[in-house]
Amino acid sequence: MHSLSKIVSTLALILILAACKPTPPEPEPAPAPPAQGLVLGVLSATQVPSFNDNGDRQSMLTALENQLTWLEKQPADIKWKAGDIRFGKDRLRRTLERFRQVWTAHETDPDAFRRAMKDDFQFYRFSWDGSQDVLITGYHAPIYEGSLTPTETFRYPIYARPKDMLIIDTTQFDPRQLVKGEGRRSGKIPARLEKGRVLPYYSREEIDEHGALKGRGLELVYLKDYFEAFSFHVQGGGFVKLTSGGFLKLAYAGQNGRPYTSIGRKLVDEGIIPEEKISMQAIEAYFAEKPEEVKRVCYANSSYVFYSRGRVVDRLEPRHFPPGVLGFPVTTRRSIATDKRYFPGGMPAYIEGVQRQQSGEPHPFGAFVIDQDTGGAIRENHIDFFQGAGDDAEHNAGLLKDETGRVTFFLIKQ
C-alpha cells in the first residue's frame, strides 16, 4: 500500500512538472521578401505573346508617326531608363521604324508577322514586386454640353490655371531642407502665399464649395452637372459642346498639387458599391439615386485640374484630341499612360486584358500601343488605355478595369 502511494505521488509530481514546463517560443516569422519595384524581365522566344491585335491598323501608324516626329526633336545623345533597361534615341528610332515596316508588310499574314517580331525585337514583360499582374483601366476625352457664360442650367465652372499659384522647386533646396516625398513624381510643389506664409494650393472643396477662385476671371466655360465637371478633371482634358455652336477644346494646364483619391475606392471601402461591380456607370447610377451624395464623395478627392482654352472647331477629328505628356495628341486605343517616375515615354508595347461588358460575358482584347501619356492616378503597375472621344469611348473607359492584365514592352535587338 505504501509503495502504491509513493508511485502515485511520484506520477502526480511528474504531471505537475510537465504542466509547468514552459511552452517553446513560436518560431520567428520569415521576413517579407524585399520589394522589387519595377522589373522588365527579358522574355524567351517561347514566352512571346501571340499578338492578337484587334485594333484599327491605320491608328497604329498614326501613333507611330506622332512618336517618330517627337523623337526627331530630341537631343542625339539623350538616354532613357525603364527598369534596368537603358536605351538611347537611336535604338528607339530604329525600334519604331522597324515595327512600322513589319506592321505594314505582314498585314494579312499573322504567322509571318509574329516570326518577324520574334526575329527583330527583344521583349520585356512588365512586373511589379514579383507579380506580372497589371491593372489596366481606360480613359477618354469627354464631350459635355456647356456655355461660355453662366446660366441657371450651366453653372459649374471649369477654371484656368490661377496666376497666384506658385511652384516650389524643391530640387533647388538642400535635401536637408526639403525632402522629396515618396508619393510625388517630381520635386515641384504647387503652393500659394497667404500673409507671408507658403501654404498648399486650394483643395477641391475650398474651390468648389467655398469659392476660393470665384470672381477672378478664371472661368473658361460652365457645365450643367457637377459630376461632369469632376469627371473632366479626372480625364485630364476634353471638349465642351457649346450652346452657341461648335466644340471647345480644353487642354490640361496644371494641377493644385493635392493628392489624388479614387472616389470609386471610397465607395467600395464604405460598402456602397461592391468591388466587383465598381465602374463609372455604377458611380453615376448611385449619384442619380442619391444626388445629395455627389459633393461629399467628390470632395474626398482634393486633387483639382486647371485648363487652357483652345479654339472652337465645327467637328471633332483625332488631331484635335488632347495632348499626352509628350506634347502631341493621343491616339484612340493606341496610346497608354504610365507612371512617369519609372517610364520615360515613347516605348512601344503589347497589352492584353479583359473588357467588361454592361451585359453578357467580358471579352479579352490585345493591342499594340505606345507609352505617350500619364495621369494623377497612374501609379506603379497601373496602365491607362486611351479609348477616344464621345459616348462609346466614355462607355468603354468606364467599364475597363482588369487587375490581371499583361504588358510587354519591346525594343529592337542590339
User: CA end-to-end span of the chain, whole Å?
Assistant: 95
Q: How confident is the model at residue 257 (pLDDT cuts 50, 70, 90)?
A: confident
- For the chain, how many residues are written? 414
Instruction: Give me the residue spans of the domains in the chain.
Output: 138-333+386-400
Mean per-residue pLDDT over the chain, rounded = 89
pLDDT in tens, 351-373: 999 998 876 678 899 999 999 99
Please provide the CATH number assigned to the domain covering 138-333+386-400: 2.40.240.50
pLDDT in tens, 111-138: 999 999 999 999 999 999 999 999 999 9
pLDDT at site 200? 87
3-state secondary structure 129-185: CCECCEEEEEEEECEEEEECCCCCCCCEEEEECCCCCEEEEHHHCCCCCCCCCCCCC
For residues 10-15, average pLDDT: 49
pLDDT at site 2? 54
pLDDT in tens, 266-317: 999 999 999 989 999 999 999 999 999 999 999 999 999 999 999 999 999 9
Distance of CA 372 to the CA centre of its chain: 12
Answer for the pair 333, 322: CB distance below 8 angstroms, yes or no. no
pLDDT in tens, 160-198: 999 999 988 776 666 654 554 444 455 678 889 988 888
Q: To which residue does cell 490585345 refer?
A: 366
User: Reduced to 3 states, what is the DSSP secondary structure of residue 338?
Assistant: coil
Residue (of 386, 389, 375, 383) closest to 238 by Cα position: 389
